[in-house]
């Protein structure tokens, strides 16, 4: 029996299931949580859907999102917990102590997953945890209705950057096709999930675009945002999501950087690269991440932070050229 079939069998014999996903939830975590949670509920299982942090506004149109319990985990006699899209326990840190004695079913697609569950299904070849949930529902012979399909489509389309990233396999497109057949309406998803911007996000984007500067050779573009600009726009950290890509995607630019001044004398740095490994660079400053997308925090002035990071990045790009 394969691992997913084992998980299906275990879920079928459960009477009270807790389903949860990571802190600061994204489209894949909310979509997978709803996709699995609603499907199990419709199949007659007692299920509690839980998220440590609130469901972001852009996903609150999804059917069932109002059923997701937030922040405080209810006391109940759960006999297992399904943890979605989490590479390690820290991703659900606020509730870990409360759930660690339960039977833990860990379903994920991050290659760095620590297999912290009693039952683990980790497939780094899956573009999204939502893709694995589709497989699991098939394994359990639970039908996928429009609400479930919409949640899972959001999971997959967000984690593939609207089917643009390299993780977009033929298999993902086949799964997406089945979800569309189940009734997904793109006119409901696209404007809310992909196109909608808050006024504060547009304001801070304007500030960010006019703050773009370039290294002498043009290989690095960076944006430095002060606290004053954030306050002026009334912007929150989430309003900066994706802003660094504007720097990265400029012609001739290899690395895009964003520096955000925090109130406590700390500068938050985001790195995005086309081909060099910026996680190594972020690590030098005590941060980390993926090869092409990484970050760190620096305890110094904005000017110092920009100088230090920029020097290092320019050198790394030069090294890359000389090899
Ligand atoms: Mn994911």
Q: How far apart are CA 202 and CA 208, in angstroms?
A: 10
Shared-domain flag, residues 173 and 212: no
Q: Mark which of 166, 195, 224 sits at the end of a domain.
A: 195
Quick one: pLDDT band at residue 248, thresholds 50, 70, 90?
A: very high
Distance (Å) from CA 82 to ligand 1 centroid? 15
Distance (Å) from CA 311 to ligand 1 centroid? 33
What backbone torsions phi and psi does residue 51 show, to the nearest 5 degrees? Answer: -130, 130
Q: How many CB atoms neighbour CB 35 within 10 A?
A: 32
pLDDT at 112: 86
Q: Residue 70 forms beta bridges with which residues?
A: 51
Distance (Å) from CA 306 to ligand 1 centroid? 31
Tokens standing for residue 161: 């950057």
Question: Which helix (H) or strand (E) segment is 209 a member of?
Answer: helix 199-210
Query: How much of the chain exceeds pLDDT 70, in percent?
Result: 99
Residues 276, 282: contact at Cβ < 8 Å? no
DSSP string, 274-321: SSS-HHHHHHHTT-EE-SSEEEEEE-S-HHHHHHHHHHHHHHHHHHHH
Shared-domain flag, residues 157 and 231: no
Distance (Å) from CA 290 to ligand 1 centroid? 14
Given a cut of 90, whether residue 204 has pLDDT beyond it is: yes
Shared-domain flag, residues 270 and 298: yes
Shared-domain flag, residues 150 and 207: no
Choose among 112, 115, 136: nearest CA to 124.
112
Q: Residue 140 forms beta bridges with which residues?
A: none
pLDDT at 46: 97
Shared-domain flag, residues 184 and 254: no
Task: Read off the pLDDT of each residue in 35-53 and give the average, rounded to a whole number.
Answer: 97
Shared-domain flag, residues 183 and 203: no
Shared-domain flag, residues 169 and 316: no
What's 18's domain CATH number? 3.90.1640.10
- In angstroms, the Cα distances linking 35 to 2, 102, 142, 173 are 22, 22, 11, 18
Quick one: pLDDT band at residue 1, thresholds 50, 70, 90?
A: low
Distance (Å) from CA 75 to ligand 1 centroid? 28
Distance (Å) from CA 129 to ligand 1 centroid? 5
Distance (Å) from CA 172 to ligand 1 centroid? 13
DSSP string, 78-103: -SEEEEES-SSGGGGHHHHHHHTTSE
pLDDT at 322: 76
Shared-domain flag, residues 185 and 222: no
pLDDT at 6: 96
Shared-domain flag, residues 77 and 220: no
Shared-domain flag, residues 66 and 145: yes
Distance (Å) from CA 128 to ligand 1 centroid? 5
Q: How far apart are CA 75 and CA 93, in angstroms?
A: 17
Distance (Å) from CA 154 to ligand 1 centroid? 11
What lies within 8 Å, CB to CB, of 139 at 6+ separation is 4, 5, 7, 8
Q: Mark which of 156, 176, 195 sits at the end of a domain.
A: 195
Distance (Å) from CA 165 to ligand 1 centroid? 13
Q: Mark which of 195, 228, 246 sits at the end of a domain.
A: 195
CA dihedral 211→58→175→139, nearest 10 degrees, is 130
Shared-domain flag, residues 172 and 275: no
Rg over CA atoms, the chain: 21
Question: Which helix (H) or strand (E) segment is 155 a member of?
Answer: helix 146-159
In this prediction the pTM is: 0.86
Residues 148, 186: contact at Cβ < 8 Å? no
Q: What is the mean pLDDT of the chain?
A: 95
Full residue range of the structural domain in which residue 216 is found: 199-322
Distance (Å) from CA 85 to ligand 1 centroid? 5
pLDDT at 44: 96
Choose among 269, 280, 279: nearest CA to 307.
269
What's 232's domain CATH number? 3.10.310.30
The tally of domains found in the chain comes to 2
Which sign, positive or negative, has the C-alpha torsion 132, 137, 141, 145? Answer: negative
Q: Which residues of 269-281 are buried (b: 16+ CB within 10 A; e: fewer)?
A: bbbbbeebbbbeb
Shared-domain flag, residues 247 and 144: no
Which residues have C-beta under 5 Å from ligand 1, the single-atom ion?
28, 85, 129, 159
């Amino acid at each position: 029996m394969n691992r997913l079939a084992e998980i299906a069998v275990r879920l079928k014999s459960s009477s009270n299931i807790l389903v949860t996903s990571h802190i600061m939830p994204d489209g894949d975590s909310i979509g997978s949580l709803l996709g699995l949670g609603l499907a199990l509920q419709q199949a007659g299982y007692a299920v509690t859907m839980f998220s440590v942090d609130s469901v972001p506004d852009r996903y609150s149109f999804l059917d069932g999102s109002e059923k997701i319990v937030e922040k405080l985990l209810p006391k109940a006699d759960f006999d297992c917990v399904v943890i979605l899209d989490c590479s390690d326990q820290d991703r659900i840190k606020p509730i870990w102590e409360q759930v660690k004695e339960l039977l833990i079913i860990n379903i994920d697609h991050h290659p760095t997953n620590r297999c912290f569950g009693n039952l683990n299904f980790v497939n780094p070849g899956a573009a999204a945890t939502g893709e694995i949930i589709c497989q699991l529902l098939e394994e359990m012979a639970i039908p996928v209705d429009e609400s479930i399909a919409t949640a899972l489509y959001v999971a997959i389309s967000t984690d593939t950057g609207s089917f643009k990233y390299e993780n977009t396999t033929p298999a993902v497109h086949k799964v997406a096709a089945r979800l569309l057949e189940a009734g997904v309406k793109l006119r409901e998803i696209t404007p809310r999930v992909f196109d909608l911007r808050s006024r504060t996000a547009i304001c801070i984007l304007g500030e960010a675009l006019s703050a773009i500067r370039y290294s002498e050779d043009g290989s690095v573009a960076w944006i430095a945002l002060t606290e004053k600009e954030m306050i002026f726009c009334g912007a929150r950290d989430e309003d900066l999501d994706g802003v660094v890509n504007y720097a990265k995607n400029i012609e001739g630019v290899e690395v895009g950087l964003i520096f955000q001044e925090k109130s406590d004398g700390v500068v938050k740095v985001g790195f995005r690269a086309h081909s060099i490994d910026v996680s190594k660079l972020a690590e030098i400053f005590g941060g980390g991440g993926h090869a092409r997308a990484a970050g760190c925090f620096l305890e110094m002035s904005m000017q110092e932070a920009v100088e230090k990071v920029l020097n290092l990045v320019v050198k790394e790009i030069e090294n890359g050229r000389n090899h």
